[in-house]
Homo-oligomer: A and B are copies of this chain.
């Protein structure tokens, strides 16, 4: 049996993404030992009970000591701090990567505070486009990243060798890797993830409670992501504020175009707008 590529992996933040990273590493025989780092000691047992990690602790320093791979999957507002702290304890050649759904602010903060400038220890920002309607380590799945895209967001400070290792890691979990700048990533996910999330929450909030008896599958689908955690999404939206605000105003203009066409009884204009939406929707598939 070949030696696992990673000796000691620290997964900081064991929720859906972190738990799935840990499970996938273990089930694919990619890591000798996976240590989960939790927020506080009272969470250790819960994470152990989920069976996703070999070991769990609230002590980041001891978990990262000697680790050759660190994966930071905490909420976006703490990723940079955790990554820099982990780097101070990890092995000198460790790869540090993350799972944050915004990238520019995180990558810039890490570049600014990174403890070394050698070619060994390095951070490579990543965003696995995986998830679902469930959260927490109980929902973790070893196959979460299969058929998913992971975006890697190297900066000018990213060594080429580290980028290759990060690609190998995320492909090793089953995902398809694409690379782009942190800024480009944030602009695109503002439109594919953050604006749709706000739109879903806004549609839900502007539906009066007494109308819900008439809500069918269309309303349920359109608003589904609004069930996500407001605490987590607050930080995601704040970390990518300008592209999202732009996207929301562009969406507002599109809604006003419909409203104006409805005021004017202009069926052709309405159909043209609907065709544009359907074409883009059909380009994705179900």
Instruction: List A residues at the B interface (Cβ < 8 Å).
Output: 129-133, 148-149, 151, 178, 185, 188-189, 191-193, 195-228, 230-231, 233-235, 237-238, 241-242, 244-245, 247-252, 254-256, 258-259, 262-263, 265, 267, 270-271, 273-278, 280-284, 286
Nearest chain B CB to A134 CB, angstrom units = 11
Report yes or no: A251 in contact with B132, Cβ–Cβ below 8 A: no
Query: Which of B203, B247, B263, B284 interacts with A206 by CB under 8 Å?
Result: B247
Give me 5 A-to-B residue pairs in the complex whose CB atoms sit less than 8 angstroms apart, sorted by A's number. A192-B216, A195-B203, A212-B283, A223-B284, A244-B258
Using CB atoms, name the residue of chain B closest to A180: B214
Query: Which of B222, B258, B280 interacts with A221 by CB under 8 Å?
Result: B222
Known: A265-B238, A278-B228, A281-B223. A205 touches B256 (CB 8 A): no
Which residue, of A130, A149, A252, A282, has the highest number of chain B Cβ atoms within 10 A? A252
Nearest chain B CB to A44 CB, angstrom units = 29
Give Cα A150 to B199, complex, Å: 28
Nearest chain B CB to A283 CB, angstrom units = 6
- Which A-B residue pairs are the 10 nearest by beta carbons? A201-B277, A230-B274, A202-B254, A196-B222, A226-B281, A241-B262, A205-B276, A129-B216, A245-B259, A204-B280
Chain B residues, CB < 8 A from A219: 192-193, 196, 284
Known: A206-B247, A241-B262, A252-B256. A199 touches B197 (CB 8 A): no
Report yes or no: A234 in contact with B274, Cβ–Cβ below 8 A: yes
Give Cα A213 to B242, complex, Å: 21
Chain B residues, CB < 8 A from A188: 208, 210-211, 214
